[in-house]
Amino acid sequence: MEKQQWAEEAWQRTSSKIKQMSEAIGAGFPHASQNGKYDRTAASAWTSGFWPGLLWLAYREEQDESLRQLAEVCEAAQDEALDEFTKLHHDVGFMWCLSSVASYKITKNEQSKQRALKAASILAGRFNPQGSFIRAWNSYVWRNEEHNEGWAIIDCMMNISLLFWASEETGDARYRHIAMRHADTVLKEFIRADGSVYHIVCFNAETGERESALGGQGYSPDSAWARGVAWAIYGMAICYSYTKEERYLRASQKTAHYFMANLPEDHIPYWDFRLPAYEGAPRDASAAAIAASGMLLLSELLPADQGGMYERCALRLVKAIDRQCACYDSGNEAIVLHATGSFPTGKNIDVPLIYGDYFYAEALTRLLGNSGSRQMFW
Hey, which residues are catalytic here? 91, 155
DSSP class of residue 161 equals: H
Pairing type for strands 210-214 and 347-351 reads: unpaired
Strand partners, 336: 326
Question: What DSSP letter does each residue of 176-235 carry, written as one string?
Answer: HHHHHHHHHHHHHHTB-TTS-B-SEEEE-TTT--EEEEE-TTSSSTTS-BHHHHHHHHHH
Read off φ and ψ for residue 46, nearest 5 degrees.
Answer: -65, -20
Rounded to an integer, what distance in angstroms lies between the CA atom of residue 275 and that of residue 165? Answer: 37
Cα–Cα distances in angstroms (integers) from residue 341 to residues 48, 290, 356, in the given order = 15, 14, 10
| Secondary structure (3-state) at 263 | coil
For the chain, the helix, strand and coil percentages under 3-state DSSP, each to the nearest 5: 55, 10, 35
Rounded to an integer, what distance in angstroms lies between the CA atom of residue 243 and that of residue 180? Answer: 9
Q: Is 108 exposed, middle or buried, given 0-12, 13-18 or 19+ CB atoms closer than 10 A?
A: exposed
The dihedral built from the CA positions of residue 7, 229, 180 and 310, taken in this order, carries a sign that is negative
| Secondary structure (3-state) at 335 | coil
